[in-house]
Amino acid sequence: MPPQSHKQRCLLIGLTFVGIILFFLAFYTCSGTSCFGITSKVPRPIYIFSNSDLDKTQNFNFEDEDVLVYLHIQKTGGSTFGRHLVHDLDFNPPCECFSGRKQCHCRTKNNRVWLFSRHSVGWKCGLHADWTELHNCVDEWFQEHDVKSRTHRRYHYITFVRNPQDRFLSEWGHVRRGATWKAARLYCNDREASLEEAQSSFQQDDKNAG
């Protein structure tokens, strides 16, 4: 092969690699905790709720059987929403909160617990417990800590959701800053998953759980 052709081929290959790298840099670029690029302009799927989905009325009788169970999905604004539940609801009596403590006592006039959440009872079912974990442990917790006169309860699960792409990027940034949620568990069928079933994806100390 003539030397000139060899140089041209090497130059072409080099330019191709540079072009690929520039393409990906233009497609998605992160600087610090901010990400920008073409992905910010990609149309996201939007679910349109019908009037029948939104126009619903649900009556709660907290003095009787009804209990509100908050499923807190991480990086959805859930901590802010959870604080609103204990501080800002027009409820009589309101939750009793204490200076310097993260948990509030949320009980009815009959001393019945009406809210099960991180800010009312703590992480009693595990850190950011999912529906399966809550379903397995909530009733057992109430049987032990609620008034004995309350033998039946009706649980109403609520949660706060976020665009999945934004939520994933927020969690990725949180982990990048050092969080691991190491205290979280995977609990199903009345047992914790083994290390073989759910292997750890990190090898560092938990610096910012929650």
Alpha-helical segments (H) within the chain: 3-27, 51-54, 78-87, 131-145, 164-176
Domain boundaries, the chain: 60-159
Query: Which of 177, 184, 179, 208 has its CA nearest to residue 198?
Result: 184
Q: Which residue has the tokens 């205290």?
A: 183
Residue 181: how many other CB atoms lie within 10 Å:
17
Looking at residue 93, what DSSP letter applies? Answer: S
pLDDT digits (tens, 9 = 90+) for 40-98: 445 666 777 788 877 878 788 888 899 999 999 999 999 999 999 999 998 899 999 98
Q: pTM of the full predicted structure? A: 0.66
Q: Exactly one of 6, 72, 119, 128 is catalytic; which is it? A: 128
Q: In the Cβ-directed half-sphere of 77, how many Cα atoms lie within 13 Å?
A: 9
Residue 57: how many other CB atoms lie within 10 Å:
4
Would residue 128 show up in a list of annotated catalytic residues for this protein?
yes
Token pair in block for residue 2: 């003539």
Flag whether pLDDT at 115 surpasses 90.
yes
